[in-house]
Structures are given as structure tokens and as C-alpha cells.
Amino acid sequence: MSDIQAEQSVSFVRKEMTPEKPAPSSIRGPVHWMKESLFSSVSNTLLTLLGVYLIYLLVPPLIQFAFVDAVWEGTNREACVDTHGACWAYVKAYFPQFVYGRYPVEEYWRVNIVFLVGALGLVPALIPALPFKRENILFMVLVYPVMTFKLLTGVSLSFETWIAEFVIAVAILLGIGAVTAYATKSPIKPLMIIIGVIALGFAAILAVMSIDFGLMPVETAKWGGFLVTLVIAITGIAASLPLGIAFALGRRSKMPAVRLVSVFFIEFWRGVPLITVLFMSSVVLPLFLPEGVTFDKLLRALIGVALFSAAYMAEVVRGGLQAIPKGQYEGADALGLTFWQSTGLIIMPQALKLVIPGIVNTFIGLFKDTTLVLIIGLFDLLGQVQLSFTDPNWSTPSTSHTGYLFAASIFWIFCFSMSRYSIFMENRLHTGHKR
């Protein structure tokens, strides 16, 4: 080895201590967040100052109106006629109508049970740490809808209706089974067993719905307020996700008939405004029905909202399916999985995880779109609030402002809660880069 090489191979050894330096600024906490997010550049600083100025202009007057100058007690308009603040006494007087609509007062307990059981069943299902998830979801999917129908309507199915609905359900199940068997080339016997189990379960549900529990029938025309808002929103959310998944898979199917039907369904419903769908279902559809045949107005609205939301949900899910790398499909094929096994165990969970923001965004839009049912004579929360403005006993300059503020607060609380839960689930399921 030459002298130059030997000199270059000698390790460097520091003979003196490095000078002390000040501690680094915090990389966590509110100060760091403000520095990185609000004051990271000149433009961000200007926007932050502009935002603070707008908050200064809007928030203090809102607090002054809603709390400082508000009237909390009173029995009529005299309590609020001379004030410049919110008339919460009016909201207190109309609160039962804002929640129940024209539902009979002596039957409020039925609606309260529906709300209470729904909350007790939904909250544990949304908290990952709580046990019995499968049992809870089965209760909410199978038992709760039947219980809600019986309590809210109080009607019992006749024997003729029971038989007709059962025959229709069995025919639909047989058609789905035939298409599934043809598409997947699965054995017929397991499919028939599954169809039989589902048919027996549906028969049990119809049998329960035909039992007379002695409840007073309440027409859906008397429903209103927040009750109608929740019924439409929950029905649309519960129906749109599975339907959207089905049509998203159908649009990517290799079967021309299935793909064509799915594309037509999605493009048709996406090309029509929801307000037009509601108007057509309420006014135009009865013109094509035979004489004497009618459908409940709320039921028609529920079907229209569910199908409309399913079309948008299908496109959201399809976006998630297209984002899955091709290697995931090849890996499923290498394991020898069938189409439904690979879709249910590998592809669909990843696709749904990727589009959680889009799914919840569709849910939030659906929840706010429930206000459009006013055009067909259904008074949801906002419609009930607007209806109360016609009462001369509470006709004051601040009545309308208070009513809209109350309705906006309710909608904001629910939409914000869904948004925060979406962020929570997205962070919890974001396992792609964890070690």
C-alpha cells in the first residue's frame, strides 16, 4: 500500500468538543403548528390575518344575537317583540313539532323508543374498542328496521300482502341466484341453501310485521320534523352503500348485460337532479299506476333518495376499485381465490378504505339534501321550522332568524360529527406505511 493510500485510510478523530448550540425549536405543539400552517409564508400570513379579521366581524355579533341579547323564557310574541336577540322561547314552544311534526302527542313514546334504541345500537357499533360488533350489526340490520316500522306506523300487514311480498322476494332471490351461478359457475346446491335461509328469514320478518301489537296506526302524513329527516337520511345511507357497491362491481363486470344495466342506472340517476326525482315520484308516477293503486308519499321519497344516492356511491366505490394495484388481483388469483372471495377478502376492503372521505362526503350531502322533500309536501326539520313562521302568536322580527339558526345548528352538529368520525376511521385504517 502506498503512503498516499495509507494516509487516506486513517480515521478522523476529533480532539476538541464541539461548541454548544441552542436547543432546537419545538417540532410539536400549537406553536409549531401555527408556524408551519398559518405563518409559513407571506401569503399564508396574509390569509391568516384576513381570516382572523373575518372572524372578528362575524363571531361577536353572532354571540351577541344568540346568547347575550337572547330571550329564553316566554309564552308568546310579546316576550320577543322588543328584543334584537334570538327568541329561544319560540324554539322551546315549538320544539315538539320540530322533532315529531304532527305525530300524536300521546304516541311520542314510540318515537322516543326508536331514537333511544337507534342510538344505543349505533354508538357501540361505531366504537372499535367495544365487543359484540357482529351481533350489534345484525341487530341494527335485521331487528331494528322491523321494530322501527312497527312502532312508527303501528300497522300490521294483511295475509294477502304477506304472501305477495314473500313470493316477490323469493322470485328476486332466485333471479339473483341464477345470475350468480352463471357468472361464477358455482354449484347450485349451496346457492339454493343460501336462498332458502334468506327466504325463511324474510318470512319471519313478514310474520312479525303481520302481528297486531295493539298500536294506534299513524299515517306518514302526520310525520314531520327531525323524525322525517332521520328516517330519510338513515334509509338513504343504509341502502345507498350496498347498492353502490353492487353497481360499481356491475360496471366493471365482464358480462355485457350486467355492465350495460349498471352503466345505464348510474348515468341516468346522476344526470337527473334530486329535486326532479322527488317531483317525478310524487306527481308523475301516480299517473302511470292503475286506478286504485297508490304508494305512500314517504315511501316514494325514500326509494327515490336511495336510488339517487346509490348512483353517486357507485362512482365513489368504482374510484376506489380503480386505485387498487394490479398486483393485488394477481396475488388473489395466485392464491386460487374465486372472484367473490378475492373481492370480499382482498379487493373491496382496500377499495373502501381508500374512499372513506368520498363515502362520508356522500352521506353528508344526502343528510343535507333531505330538506328537498318539502317540495312534495313532506315537512322535515327545515320545513317544520319554516311552517312555524306563519304562526301569528310568534311573529317577531327575530323569529325567522332564530328558526334558521336552530336548524343550521342541528345540521352542522350531525354533519361535523360524521366528518370527524370519517377522519378517525381514516387514520385508524391507514396501515399502509406502518411498521
Question: How many CB atoms sit inside 10 A of residue 85's CB?
Answer: 18
- Domain segments of the chain: what residues? 104-153, 157-211
pLDDT at 433: 47
Q: What is the pLDDT along the chain (435 residues), one digit of tens a residue?
A: 455 555 555 566 777 777 887 766 666 778 778 888 888 889 999 999 999 999 999 999 999 999 999 999 999 999 998 888 999 999 999 999 999 999 999 999 999 999 999 999 998 888 888 888 888 888 888 889 888 988 999 887 665 665 666 666 666 666 666 666 665 566 666 666 666 666 666 666 666 666 777 889 999 999 999 999 999 999 999 999 999 999 999 999 888 988 999 999 999 999 999 999 998 888 887 777 777 767 788 999 999 999 999 999 999 999 999 999 999 999 998 999 988 889 999 999 999 999 999 999 999 999 999 999 999 999 999 999 999 999 999 999 999 999 999 999 999 999 999 999 999 999 888 765 444
Q: Quick one: pLDDT at residue 64? A: 95
The Cα 331–Cα 333 span in angstroms is 5
**CA–CA dist 68, 86 (Å, integer):** 9
Grid coordinates in use for 345?
377478502
For residue 298, give the amino acid letter.
L
C-alpha cell recorded at residue 412: 352542522
DSSP 387-428: HHTT-GGG--TTHHHHHHHHHHHHHHHHHHHHHHHHHHHHHH
* C-alpha distance from residue 282 to each of 237, 289, 310, 322, 331 (Å): 21, 12, 20, 37, 49
DSSP 435: -
pLDDT at residue 107, as a whole number: 95
Please, are residues 198 and 78 in contact by the beta-carbon 8 Å criterion?
no
Distances in whole angstroms, Cα of residue 71 to Cα of each of 43, 74, 82, 85: 43, 8, 10, 7
Check residue 13 and give its pLDDT: 73
| Closest C-alpha to 106, from 225, 216, 228 | 216
Half-sphere exposure of 126 (CA within 13 A, CB side): 14
Element (H, E) at 4: helix 3-9
pTM of the model: 0.84
Residue 360 confidence (pLDDT): 96
